[in-house]
Structure 1
Amino acid sequence: MRIGLLTEGGYPYATGESGRWCERLVRGLGQHQFDLYALGRTGTPPALPPHARIARAADLGLDASPAHQAERAGLREPRASRRAYGRHERRRFTEAYHRLATGLCAEDDATSFAEGLYALAELARGRGGLPAALRSDDAVRALEAACRAPGARRGAAAAGLPDHLAFAEQLERALRPLSLDWYEEETLGAADLCHAAAGGTTALPGLLAKRFFGTPLLVTEYGVPLRAHYLSAAGADRSAPLRTLLAALHGRLAAEIYRQSALLTPGNAHARRWQEKCGADRARIRTVHPGMAADRFAEVGEDEESGDPATLVWVGRVEPAKDLIGLLHAFAEIRARQPDARLRIVAVPAPEPAAGAYLTYCKGVAAQLFPDEAPGAHAVGENPVTFEELGGPEAPTLEDAYASGALVVLSSVVEGFPASLVEAMFCARATVSTDVGAVVEIIGGTGLVVPPRNPRALADACLALLRDPERRHRLGAAARARALELFTVEQNLAAFRGIYLELLSHAPVRHRPGDGVPFAHPAEAHVPGSWAHKAVTAGTGAPDA
């Protein structure tokens, strides 16, 4: 089977959890041919297995001029936009854009949005020039008319010219995948299945492959782009009408992707609920937990006696959503009731500049809450709270970080699928977590859960386990057994192995070059492995290696 894998963040160029998941999927399903379509980054790729290749890569370059973006991304823009649309193309564009804008501005008209989106895609495929047209005066006037039409959303109706201009720019960025040169018979048209590693813009090429070629679309979401848009701080300075229009755009796009997908595979029940709220059909949703490598944690998980029994460990990216300030206040109460308790905060390096500022703020709060200890409790100058960086001398690896303590804490106020919680479970560590995101689904009954933003409850739960070693060990063992059953790479690969075959079995017959010629496609060609090669070598008398 030929899989067109649409990757989030530009795999195989990008790193991160999404890139690692794509890597495990491609290498674990060697019986299929993977054509990688990378959005977001280009460069020199790492070595790929023999059954995978980079079919297309597009750096959409959000900070460059439209022409330069197009040259870098492989858009149709440089060739087709040297002259403006003629009268016929302008009329086609204006009608399509007006339908799309009407679907965005009206509360209950998702059909117009989809019709306009596909009409713009067909125009881009046949004529090009879409990025420039989306920023044109025609586009702004069509958007203005839709915002002022009867029945428009109240927020959209209040939009002014600055809002229209800003939204036109954001819309052009979101719809850049429509102008890619990926929609040909030899590219996405050759795929038996499109698998998008995320929703939103990443899944747009798969949506168009379904439109143009009837290719089944599978969408995997371990984080929900619509939720990420709502929670993003990037648009805090935008006007209310502009936020309304952008929310409508992301909502309509998500709903259309969910409606056209053959199957949705959210990574947890939290993401599944978001999909259902956006109109996804429950019958076409199947939860597939992300697979994580468990082998590296085996030694720690099998050593029940490892870890300081009075040490709490927090591991993650330092950002406000993790509520380290609440954790520090909770630990102040723990420290008052159990003076030998210690807290290790192990930060995973993050590229965001704001992470350093928040970490500095947290260190300042810790210095106020826990001034250096006087002689007696610990060595002079030793503080019960330590801030370390993963990869440093104190915490060279994740295994070392988790092995150093008896209890792992998660204090977040916002989470999706917290990988650190699963890692702690692989290490047979009892956990105390706030009830956010997929936390309850992950731990089942193998850890304690408290309300977010409640330092007193967090402190009480931590003390309960610090003072009860037997219960702590029992919960840790149960956590490890649950993680090995549900969250390993093996279970993830097994799920997608079955899903691929299921979707192909239900897909309509695809006619390709050579169809209609007797024996053009021998039966052995559809069997995974090298059956056809063996048959040829056997017939020629060559050794059957």
Structure 2
Amino acid sequence: MLVRIGLLTEGGYPYATGESRLWCDRLVRGLPQHEFDLYALSRSARQEEQGWVRLPPHIGRVRTASLWTSDDEVLRGGGALRGGRTFRGGGRGGLSAGMRPRGGRSFGRRERGRFTAHLTALATSVCAAAGSGTGDEAATHFTEALYGLAELAVEHGGLPAALRSETTVRVLESACRARGTGRTVQAATVPDLLTFAAELERALRPLSLDWYDEDGLGSADLCHATSGGAAALPGLLAKRFFGVPLLVTEHGVRLRAHYLATPDEPFTAPVRALLAAFRGQLAAEVYRQAAVITPGSTHVRRWQEKCGADRARLRTVYPGMMADRFRGVGESDDGGGPGTLVWVGRVEPAKDLIALLHAFAEVRRAVPDVRLRIFGAPAQGADGDAYLATCRALAAQLFPDEATGAHTPGDNPVSFEEIGGPEIPDLAEAYAAGGVVVLSSVVEGFPVSLVEAMFCGRATVSTDVGAVVEVIGGTGLVVPPRNPRALADACVALLRDPERRARLGAAARARALELFTVEQNLAAFRGIYLELISRSPARREADAVDADGEPRPFATPAEAHVPGRWTASRTSALVTAGPDAARRPSWAIRRTGAYAAAAGAGAGDA
């Protein structure tokens, strides 16, 4: 059965860099029986310059838009958005006409009134949430305002210019000064309001795209957002305007990531409070409207529940990873270097290599001949290089009598190495180089390096962060984060007990092959896709039959096959308007009206 899926991404697939890139590529390639249309939001010019991954042939089209557009580019020429393009036949590289820029032409008096009313309701709900928390009434106002702005953007060419206008600043100022808002928000100055208005425009930029028509998201059978936040916003509109069911996958909760990043954001306290309230209300609306939410771990699932997700709609689906590349190491009887600890990952502060080096100093006192091999490149940017230099300096300080560096690994107790050289040509060889794999992070989502070590049949020592305990499941040792002594004791225990290492490694490999492979991930989403489609009526007459003229499964709503005079009118109403037709713009109802005749014909034939 062919299902047309609108895959919504932010800062990832099909770009060659970014989050969830590999997972999305495996999903698309693993389900060739379906047709995917990609709707991709990029986060930076650098990401766009690095290009795309090679796309499979069953991608129907790729539509792209930029979230990194500078202020000057947004407001130039009436606020036209930069970079939106449509590619048809994504896997074949064909290019069609570009996406129409939508920046927001000048509104008439009636449109200005609508914009002000919707923005006022949204700002009031955000300010209330930033003050004393949000209730049902505030959430309702936020929802109605969000979709009201969306309808205005679709009907009149976008909102960027309007959201950067003096009217927006005045509306925000009035909402912040209203009774019931918190002191932090009431203290907002005019520069604070200008900053928040700019951030609000960026967050709502997907409303101004021209993806919402019968050739765009309206033609999808379902929308699959690969994260919350901006990626899910087009899915909300597709559901609102056309009744397209929404599936949301999060391997890390976007709202949680925003909260963790808040202290480092270059904003004042009032701006941070307003942004946190807006993001919280948007996340709550995404969770309310999603038919199914698939967290990538129980750790993520708990956070989603705290952020308002309905437990009945949550289904944990672990990210699928390629096990074949580690098969040679995992099936080998070689236990690796029995006196070597291995760390693999991106060198950055969250990985806490400082604690690992201090722990290794303790390990070396107990097991003098032990070595530590650190495989990884620094995180992008000056901060990553600076952290790597700090780690190298600390290693030299802790082991002053030995040559520590990135020279011949056999001469040094600590070595910093990159994968791809003659001795360690690939990732599997890095895990094979040691008998124990260590994870020392203080912040972690889904621990990819830990699963890779499990595929390789390696015993592991990890810190209790993120989804580590859930992934390990008793097949490795787990210690508190930021505790070098506990980390060292666990490493020494495994280094001194080869039988235990072998037993834990075998159990870890069996667990990883059962839970974390690409195959289990594809099987889960294959079932979820068919389930969601079976709940939703078909909207495209052309898709009611296949190439041989045979009816497609689920192409006609089930009501069409029930005898009775009510069938035609009931099916027609269902397909034409849907359950929330009263709240849809008139153009959206007219768009679905063309399919009422097809539903009525199906009822008569039955």
Residue in structure 2 matched with residue 73 of structure 1 by the alignment: 84
The question of 1:86 aligning with 2:115 is answered no
The separation in 2 between residues aligned to 1:519 and 1:201, in whole angstroms, is 35
- Cα RMSD of the aligned pairs, angstroms, is 2.4
What is the TM-score normalised by the length of structure 1?
0.91
Matches within 5 A, 1:122-141: 122-141=151-170
| TM-superposition CA deviations, 1:451-483 (whole Å, max 9, x none) | 000000000011010101100110000000000
Residue in structure 1 matched with residue 570 of structure 2 by the alignment: none
CA 1:518–1:63 in 2, change beyond 3 Å: closer, same or farther?
closer
The separation in 2 between residues aligned to 1:347 and 1:104, in whole angstroms, is 42
Name the aligned partner's letter for residue 154 of structure 2.
Answer: R
- Of the three residues 54, 67, 85, the one matched with 2:61 is 54
- Alignment partner of 2:106: what SS? coil
Report if the CA contact (8 A) 2:352-2:440 is conserved.
yes
Which of 253-262 and 233-242 deviates more?
Answer: 233-242
Matches within 5 A, 1:74-473: 78=101, 81=104, 83-106=105-128, 107-108=133-134, 109-232=138-261, 235-348=264-377, 350-373=379-402, 382-473=411-502
Residue in structure 2 matched with residue 534 of structure 1 by the alignment: none
5+ residue gaps, structure 2: 86-97, 556-606
| TM-superposition CA deviations, 1:256-304 (whole Å, max 9, x none) | 1011000000000111111101111000000000000000101101113
The separation in 2 between residues aligned to 1:372 and 1:62, in whole angstroms, is 53
| TM-superposition CA deviations, 1:468-520 (whole Å, max 9, x none) | 1100110000000000000000000000010001111112x1333469x9999
The separation in 2 between residues aligned to 1:17 and 1:400, in whole angstroms, is 25
Matches within 5 A, 1:504-519: 504-507=533-536, 509-513=537-541
Report if the CA contact (8 A) 1:60-1:73 is conserved.
no
Name the aligned partner's letter for residue 482 of structure 1.
Answer: R
Deviation at 1:77, TM superposition (A): 8.3
Deviation at 1:428, TM superposition (A): 0.3
- Alignment partner of 2:141: what SS? helix
The separation in 2 between residues aligned to 1:519 and 1:309, in whole angstroms, is 59
| TM-superposition CA deviations, 1:308-335 (whole Å, max 9, x none) | 1110001111111111101111111111
Deviation at 1:154, TM superposition (A): 3.3
Percent identity over the alignment is: 66
CA 1:394–1:349 in 2, change beyond 3 Å: closer, same or farther?
farther
The separation in 2 between residues aligned to 1:90 and 1:77, in whole angstroms, is 23
CA 1:341–1:214 in 2, change beyond 3 Å: closer, same or farther?
same
What is the TM-score normalised by the length of structure 2?
0.82
Name the aligned partner's letter for residue 329 of structure 2.
Answer: V
The separation in 2 between residues aligned to 1:446 and 1:102, in whole angstroms, is 51
CA 1:188–1:519 in 2, change beyond 3 Å: closer, same or farther?
closer
Which of 441-450 and 112-121 deviates more?
Answer: 112-121
CA 1:203–1:519 in 2, change beyond 3 Å: closer, same or farther?
closer
CA 1:177–1:433 in 2, change beyond 3 Å: closer, same or farther?
same
Name the aligned partner's letter for residue 324 of structure 2.
Answer: D
The count of residues paired between Structure 1 and Structure 2 equals 521
Residue in structure 2 matched with residue 11 of structure 1 by the alignment: 13
Deviation at 1:524, TM superposition (A): 4.5
Report if the CA contact (8 A) 1:406-1:429 is conserved.
yes
The separation in 1 between residues aligned to 2:443 and 2:58, in whole angstroms, is 38
Deviation at 1:336, TM superposition (A): 1.2
The separation in 2 between residues aligned to 1:444 and 1:493, in whole angstroms, is 22
The question of 1:29 aligning with 2:58 is answered no
| TM-superposition CA deviations, 1:22-68 (whole Å, max 9, x none) | 11111111111111111116576444323213241112333362056
- Alignment partner of 2:82: what SS? helix
Deviation at 1:526, TM superposition (A): 4.2
The separation in 1 between residues aligned to 2:508 and 2:118, in whole angstroms, is 53
Matches within 5 A, 1:454-533: 454-507=483-536, 509-513=537-541, 522-526=549-553
Which of 313-322 and 63-72 deviates more?
Answer: 63-72
Which of 268-277 and 85-94 deviates more?
Answer: 85-94
